[in-house]
A and B are shown apart, each in its own frame.
Chain A
Amino acid sequence: MRSDPVVQVSGLVKRYGRKTAVDGLDLVARSGITAVLGPNGAGKTTTVESCEGYRKPDSGTVRVLGLDPVREAAALRPRIGVMLQSGGVYSGARADEMLRHVAKLHARPLDVDALIERLGLGSCGRTTYRRLSGGQQQRLALAMAVVGRPELVFLDEPTAGLDPQARRATWELVRDLRADGVSVILTTHHMDEAEQLADDVAIIDAGRVVAQGSPDALCRGGAENTLRFSGRPGLDVASLLKALPADSTAAEPAPGSYRVGGKIDPQLLATVTTWCAQHGVMPEKISVERHSLEDVFLELTGKELRG
């Protein structure tokens, strides 16, 4: 499954006038779903648009399915599907009309009627694009990206502005694409989207990739985790700390509520419960808190993500 890279970006630099949007970015995406995560202005769209052939790098190289997206655009274009952040449709075109048109540009497109039904676009009827709701416009753009049966799909903020139900429908389609062997690169500033969907997450900040890995690995590796339990108030925290490995912490932030910090593994959990048994304490509500991507992101960039 994780074979040759579908996207390989090295040392990408892209400036707009005096502003450097992407500043020496390295990114390798393999088959499956790769989420490019970052706050607004981090360089996500510029990176993706460089892969789609819209932007000529000021320096560095970009390869998509082994091709140069600018010089070998003609060979690459039929093999990729693109969902722009907004627009891309004639304002006077109906949803089904535009989708059928994009299908006609491809050799073996999907069944358009089935796709329309799948994405709930059938209700658009004779409404022209400019009068569709934001959610309908988003779903049409998604449909246009997949209708040509591409090997690789780029989705720029695919669920921005969608209600929870429509988001879930989009996620389901993205998972179906993956199951059928389509690779997906998506940008998002929603942590849960990256956590839910991605095999691999690249966190971008200020035009560079600051971390990349599976959501699990990022959450495990990035930061210390926390174990909490409740017991009777006033336990000897200093004694507990002595039983723990050297780089751990232990505290009683509120009476009867205890917090252990450090590398939380099965051995440490055993150490804590053993200590409790030795001191006649029944630890209740034991919980291990994994760090979320949100925490990892905050630690890496010192910034909160919007949304």
Chain B
Amino acid sequence: MSPETTGTATGTDARTTAAGTYAPSPGAAPLPRMIAAQAVLETKMLLRNGEQLLLTVIIPTLLLVLFSAVDVVDTGDGEAVDFLAPGILALAVMSTAFTGQAIATGFERRYGVLKRLAVSPLPRWGLMTAKTLSVLVTEVLQVILVTVIALALGWSPHGSPFAVLLLLVLGTAAFSGLGLLMAGTLKAEATLAAANLVFLLLLVGGGVVVPLDKFPQAAQDALGLLPITALSEGLRNVLKDGAGMPWGNLGILAAWAVVGLAAAGRFFRWE
């Protein structure tokens, strides 16, 4: 047990692994491979998490089916599904880019995942790119699911797909910025509680399933500035009413995106 024995166990007898196995050969993998691997892992983690699936898949689907079938809220003229589908698409974006991302990232920060990845060869911007890719992949799956269900319920969408895509992308940027800001500054438990609360409040007050004109005029003006309202109303203008580019809604989303992402970049703490 004396220190003289240090290193003698490296003789061939004591080794269970061939000599040279651990010989240094350091190097980072090519960037695209690292980012792709990270995006795949992030997506797997998200799809494996029950609470996340509740937020991103089950709640939007249930709301769409339930509110289309049962006349709970007066959605105005026309088919209920024509009013609901754009709102549910907006909800899907918010659930993934904001709520889901905030909660997942908050706990990754809490459990040292971000800390450990920070010393891996993957640069920080690469990690953020991978997170964004993972959010986009999830959203594509959500959009397909919501679209199929809505079409089955008799949805007849209008308008330019390009305008819809632009709204979804800007909405994702706005919600990602806010979600990461929350995850990078609050404790994981606080993020969990706040992200769920905000999700619920915006679900009710953001023109998702309840038409904005159910609220008093003063409240409508304020609610109209929220990113969820800009997204749901923008999508509705295009998909329900066949409007052209909804510049007003796009402008609000762009403003939230700039402010949210800048604040997240400035205040995000990795540990």
Chain A residues within 8 Å of B, Cβ to Cβ = 52-54, 74, 77-80, 82, 84, 86-93, 97, 101-102, 104-108, 110, 114, 118, 144, 146, 148-151, 172, 175-182, 192, 195-199, 214-216, 219, 290
Contact = CB atoms under 8 A, between A and B. Distances in A.
A148 B121 contact: yes
A101 B17 contact: no
20 contacts: A52-B119, A54-B115, A77-B119, A80-B26, A87-B111, A88-B113, A88-B115, A90-B108, A93-B45, A102-B120, A105-B37, A105-B121, A114-B21, A151-B24, A172-B9, A179-B15, A180-B22, A180-B23, A195-B1, A216-B4
B76 interface: no
A84 B22 contact: no
Interface residues of B, number: 47
A106 B121 contact: yes
B251 to A, nearest CB: 37
A80 B119 CA distance: 8
A148 B27 CA distance: 8
B18 to A, nearest CB: 9
A78 B6 contact: no
Contact of A180 (B5, B19, B45, B107): B19
Contacts of A290: 2
Interface string B48-62: 110000000000000
A181 B23 contact: yes
A186 B211 CA distance: 61
A212 to B, nearest CB: 15
Interface stretch (B28-36, B194-202, B231-239, B257-265): B28-36
Given A118-B16, A176-B15, A178-B10, A144 B29 contact: no
Given A88-B112, A90-B113, A179 B10 contact: yes
A131 B33 CA distance: 29
A149 B28 CA distance: 11
A150 B120 CA distance: 11
Given A107-B25, A199-B7, 5 more contacts: A89-B111, A104-B34, A148-B26, A176-B17, A195-B1
Interface of B: 1-7, 9-10, 14-17, 19-29, 33-34, 37-38, 41, 44-45, 48-49, 107-108, 111-113, 115-116, 118-123, 271
Nearest to A80: B119
A175 B10 CA distance: 6
A112 B211 CA distance: 55
A185 B10 CA distance: 18
- Most B C-beta atoms less than 10 A away, residue of A91, A175, A179: A179
Contacts of B15: 176, 179
- Most B C-beta atoms less than 10 A away, residue of A105, A144, A149, A177: A105
Given A105-B121, A176-B10, A196-B6, A92 B45 contact: yes
A150 B22 CA distance: 8
A177 B26 contact: no
Given A91-B107, A105-B37, A181 B120 contact: no
Contacts of B118: 53-54
A87 B17 contact: no
A78 B111 contact: no
Nearest to A106: B29
Contacts of A93: 41, 45
Given A53-B119, A88-B113, A216-B3, A101 B37 contact: yes
Nearest to A76: B119
Given A91-B111, A92-B48, A216-B3, A105 B23 contact: no
B269 to A, nearest CB: 12
B17 to A, nearest CB: 6
Nearest to B47: A92
Contacts of A192: 1
